[in-house]
Structure 1
């Protein structure tokens, strides 16, 4: 059975990206450009990815993926990727990218079916993860906290979510990072 997992990196004070949607702060941290063996194991269990338009646009521009589509597999392999967006975005040639708009609930069956029994990775951003939470389709939150802080930016999870719905499963040091895994229960 598929689990929906929001796995992301965050600053110590809870920002995913800076105010310009950049992840440059993360890549400035030694090891921030690689997820390591644990990330490779996680990715092996993923059947489909879901991301918002800002996340997709940043990766697209940062890696120049339209001009260099051969880099796409290094990020996501050949997995289907759903991009929630209200704007026209370029497609990475050869990648299975499915642009959708509307609510998570409207697209849930297609996302779950595309996962084919494997996990669903909510790549980001925080508001999209919050929409999965709102729809009752978020099972785990995995945050890798980096030794960095920003004065402003995109929040990790812009929702009210109390301790009564989160169960700590695991905490692990990964070089200069601290990874925290929570199970999310229904309201």
Structure 2
């Protein structure tokens, strides 16, 4: 069981445009290739998500069923019916043991960038799974801005017809 950051990122390192939008991703999901997402989800037993990303996903209709989900926030937010959503304002290092106890599968760190930085800085992420999207945004919300230095080991890569390259990296323990 591991914490995995699985996220799409532009060639210039952004996970969203400057307004937090991801409309630029829509052009890459229509060819019948899910870029390994279904296989990845088979291994997911819990979710970690920041409040802004959570609110964005709520706008799309909750796609994660009853997978136990921890939303890192200081606010009260809507909880979709039929879900297992929990809110916490504790640091990730305090919550991860609770998440691991809830599942024998992996924890998917969905994002966003601020929460990803917290998990990375605390050495909680075991694996990065990056969908490198052939787009240059020029500006936006960066994935790795200000994270602590770490050397990652490439464990797999796969280029897709869409132009997306899926990269898997193992991270050292902090």
State the TM-score, normalized to the length of structure 2: 0.90
> Deviation string for 1:75-133 (max 9, x for gaps)?
2232111110122221111111111112101212211112x221010011122122112
Structure 1 residue 30 displacement after superposition: 3.1
For 1:118-170, what per-residue CA distance to the aligned partner results, in whole angstroms no more than 9, with x for missing partners?
A: 101001112212211222211000110112121221111221324xx210111
Query: 2:127 corresponds to which residue?
Result: 140
Contact 1:52 1:125 in 2 (8 A): yes
Structure 2: gaps (5+ residues) = none
**Kept in 1: contact 2:121–2:148 (CA 8 A):** no
User: After TM superposition, which residue ranges in structure 1, 4 or more long, deviate above 6 angstroms?
Assistant: 32-35
TM-score w.r.t. the length of structure 1 is: 0.84
Let me know the Cα RMSD of the aligned residues: 1.8
**For the structure 1 residues 98 and 32, does the alpha-carbon distance in structure 2 shift closer, same or farther, using more than 3 Å as the test?**
farther
Q: Aligned with 1:25: secondary structure?
A: helix
CA distance in 1, matches of 2:33, 2:110: 13
Deviation of 1:31 (Å):
2.0
Partner SS for 1:108? helix
CA contact (8 A) 1:50 1:82 kept: yes
Superposed displacement of residue 179, structure 1: 0.9
What is aligned with 2:84? 96
Listed as ranges, the gaps of 5+ residues in structure 1 are: 66-71
More helix by share: 1
Q: How many residues align?
A: 172
Corresponding residue of 1:58: 56
